[in-house]
Amino acid sequence: MKWHTKFIETREAKRQRALNDYLALKRNKTLTHFFRTWRRATGRIVELQILSDTIRKERDLDLKEDMFLYWKKRLHFVDDCTQNAVNHYEKHLVV
């Protein structure tokens, strides 16, 4: 093998290694960028899910409180009506 053939092969091997290193670096940068944007997006989605769960729980508690107050008011009304009826009945029994 002549020296210039070996020199050409060595130079081609160096170029090939440099190209492979460049492509690997470019691929790694692309993957890093993809995962970084994916993590940001999923982090934002998780934050929004937590916020929506909190809002849903608050809304459910508000609905339960409204139902409780409605039935409390209704039962007080029924109790007042019953008490008025008893008072009316007792008043007419005495007379």
Whether the model clears a pTM of 0.75, i.e. scores above it, the answer is no
Interatomic CA distance for residues 46 and 39, integer angstroms: 10
DSSP string, 7-72: HHHHHHHHHHHHHHHHHHHHHHHHHHHHHHHHHHHHHHHHHHHHHHHHHHHHHHHHHHHHHHHHHH
pLDDT per residue over 3-59, tens digit each? 778 888 889 999 999 999 999 999 999 999 999 999 999 999 999 999 999 999 999
pLDDT at 65: 96
pLDDT at 91: 83
Read off the pLDDT of each residue in 58-77 and give the average, rounded to a whole number.
96
pLDDT at 64: 96
